[in-house]
Structures are given as structure tokens and as C-alpha cells.
């Protein structure tokens, strides 16, 4: 069973997931802090390049299964046109109402 995005606890994480699922590039970059960083399976990546490839060009989508750490840690079924669907973990650092870092990888 999944958690409806509108019920995610952290408003910044909720905005991130909402924009990602809508393939809303301006909206997703609006929720990211200037200089935001990220990692995928433990390797740091360029945020813009990763989002372009893994989300926007391949229609990424998250179905959140659970949340922890006041909504800043998610387990989700993530799918895109490149890799299909996989179970993933997402951890978010939020500062000043923006995502300053997110880490994702297979759960």
C-alpha cells in the first residue's frame, strides 16, 4: 500500500515528490537549494545531469511505501522508462525550506 503524496509529513519532501511525479522540471528545481547535492547508490552525482537522465528524460515516478525521520526518509517504488521499477530509499536534508541534499539508492 502506498502513501498518497499529499499526506507526506514533510512539506519540502512533499513538494519534491509532487514535482518529480508531475515531471515538473521548474517545480523540482524550485524546491532544491542553490548548490544542492545528491548521491545515487553511494556515489555523488551532478544533480542536474542525474535528474535530467533519471527523471525528466525517462519519466521518473515515485510511489511512496513508507516514511520515517519526520518524513525526510522514504522507501518508494521508483520507476522510469530506462530501468523499469525498483524499490528505493530516499533520504533528504532540508535547510531553509529547500532540499540541500538527497541520497537515493536501492532499498
pTM, rounded to two decimals: 0.96
Q: Which residues of 4-38 are buried (b: 16+ CB within 10 A; e: fewer)?
A: ebeebebebbbbbbbbbbeeeeeebeebbbeebbb
Q: For residue range 86-102, what is the model confidence (pLDDT) as tens digits?
A: 999 999 999 999 999 99
What cell does 73 get?
A: 526518509
pLDDT digits (tens, 9 = 90+) for 41-72: 999 999 999 999 999 999 999 999 999 999 99
The percent of residues in the chain predicted with pLDDT above 90, rounded, is 99
Per-residue pLDDT at 86: 97
pLDDT of residue 31: 98
Amino acid at each position: 500500500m502506498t502513501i498518497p503524496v499529499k499526506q507526506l509529513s514533510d512539506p519540502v519532501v512533499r513538494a519534491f515528490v509532487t514535482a518529480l511525479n508531475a515531471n515538473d522540471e521548474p517545480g523540482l528545481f524550485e524546491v532544491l537549494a542553490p548548490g544542492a547535492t545528491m548521491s545515487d547508490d553511494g556515489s555523488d552525482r551532478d544533480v542536474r545531469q542525474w535528474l535530467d537522465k533519471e527523471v525528466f528524460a525517462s519519466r521518473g515516478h515515485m510511489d511512496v511505501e513508507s516514511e520515517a525521520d519526520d518524513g525526510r526518509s522514504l522507501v518508494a517504488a521508483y520507476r522510469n522508462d530506462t530501468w523499469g521499477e525498483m524499490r528505493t530509499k530516499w533520504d533528504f536534508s532540508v535547510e531553509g525550506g529547500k532540499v540541500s541534499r538527497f541520497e537515493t539508492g536501492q532499498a
